[in-house]
Amino acid sequence: MTSTRDRLYVDGTWVPSTGTETLPVTNPFTEEVIGTVPAGTAQDAGRAAEAASRAFESWSRTSLDDRVKYCTAIAEGLQARQQEVALSAATEMGAPWQVAVMVQAGLPVISFASMEDVVGHVDWERQSGNSLLVRQPVGVVGAITPWNYPLHQIAAKVAPALAAGCTVVVKPSELVPGVAYLLAEVIDAVGLPPGVFNLVPGTGPVVGEAIASHPLVDMVSFTGSTRAGRRVAELAAAGPKRTSLELGGKSASILLDDLTGQDLANAIVGSLTGCLINSGQTCSALTRLLVPSAALDEVVGNLEVFAQFATMGDPLDPATQQGPLVSRAQQERVRGYIRAAVDDGARLVAGGPEQPEHLPTGFFVKPTVLVAQPGTPIEQEEVFGPVLTVVPYDGGDEAAIRIANGTPYGLSGAVWGADRDRALAVARRLRTGQVAVNGGVFNPTAPFGGFGQSGYGRELGPLGLEEFTAVTSLQL
């Protein structure tokens, strides 16, 4: 599948960039360049912001029912092209086929389709004393999105923004742009009014910064690294304009000391799976496993075995569980973390920094398990790859909570215990945006976001929609 595109989508039509440069799109399994996209310019971002600003007055006055109908039509259009979306995600970022179909292509459909229900859980108007509180769309939204869940992260912003009555300018990741183009094609086919949705590919320092600083952009919704998020917040603050930042994570999965037998085995498998999902390229991945010291040997022995069953290979092979990382730079970054951790005294249990012997090409990193102490870089810093850090603890629940809350991040987490009430009590004390208790599954309509350096604001569900609104008080 080639990914060559030569246009931007601005003001309801496909237009050339004002620049002449292009950006390569690489297949991370074959390491071959499979296409290009325009390297958008600051002028392109400005044209898109102007188109979104012109469209805002009419779109914001479109009835809520009609806005939801557009979201539903987009969901149906994405559903009809689910295989194309999955193929794009697999070939451009290396998502294993099962993940590409169910997650990369499936979740965006849910994001748009769920608006029909979500809008019913928002207080669009309510009385407060002698005031009528009215929720209004915040305005033009700049959406800057990452490569790891390239369409889901766009949909999680665009769907609620459209439902709220906002217009949008999207900058997709230049590494994995194909799915964004498929969305634009669907939106064009359903007849969304010109200027309501605009797509400008390009790099963060050029297009991303132009969007974040443009005077006609009222809000910036950003998902990506904490470093880049700080830069977005800095540029937006000069406006000032509203920002919503979904950043990094170093989430802990806590095994309580009452786990035994099958409960313990389930917790180990669930924690490893939560780390390795999408080849470890997940901001909310469970990358730390907190284990009572008395159970460390048993847990590590199981992990050494379980990690071997994470089949690496061609993302298009349905048997593949672990695909390559998105780029050579990402591969080298993750390998560097593994090497540094071992040099720093961490114990290598499984995996390691070497290229898998049966996969001479492809940006692969073996599923890796390390045992390290709290406070070390591998326990504190986001790696963004298939690397699980096992951290032994003594001192019961208090020690586990202290270690779990002991990083600058707070995006996700998990607690496993034989006593559900005890596990819930521990979960309530974690300073993080989501916690799975005894394997509770991800809810795509529950609010998603974090504490600390994991950012602020929430996506998904009613709270995610409310992020794109502002309240006016009508004094009666």
| Residues marked as catalytic | 246, 283
Please report the beta strands in 68-163, taking only residues with DSSP state E, as ranges in sequence order: 125-128, 131-137, 140-144
Nearest to 453 by CA among 370, 389, 380: 380
Cα–Cα separations (whole angstroms), residue 341 to 262, 345, 353, 380, 424: 31, 6, 11, 11, 32
CA angle at 192 for the pair 189 and 197, rounded to the nearest 5°: 105
Cβ contact 346:240 at 8 Å = no
Q: Beta strand 413-416 with 387-393: parallel, antiparallel or unpaired?
A: unpaired
In whole angstroms, how far apart are CA 284 and each of 51, 169, 281, 410, 469? 34, 25, 9, 9, 26
Asked if residues 388 and 289 have their Cβ atoms less than 8 Å apart, the reply is: yes
* Token representation of residue 217: 């952009």
DSSP state, residue 200: -
Provide the token pair at 467: 């992020």
Q: In what order do the strands lie in the sheet with 131-137?
A: 125-128, 131-137, 469-475
CA distance 348 to 339: 10
Kindly report the backbone phi and psi dihedral angles of residue 33, in degrees, each rounded to the nearest multiple of 5, phi listed first.
Answer: -75, 125
Task: Identify the helix (H) or strand (E) that includes residue 27.
Answer: strand 22-27
Tokens of 68: 């939801």
Task: Name the residue among 211, 60, 63, 198 with its Cα closest to residue 142.
Answer: 211
Terminal-residue alpha carbon distance, the chain: 60
Residue 255, SS3?
A: strand
For residue 357, give the 3-state DSSP assignment.
coil
CB 271 within 8 A of CB 415: no
β-pair partners for 339: none
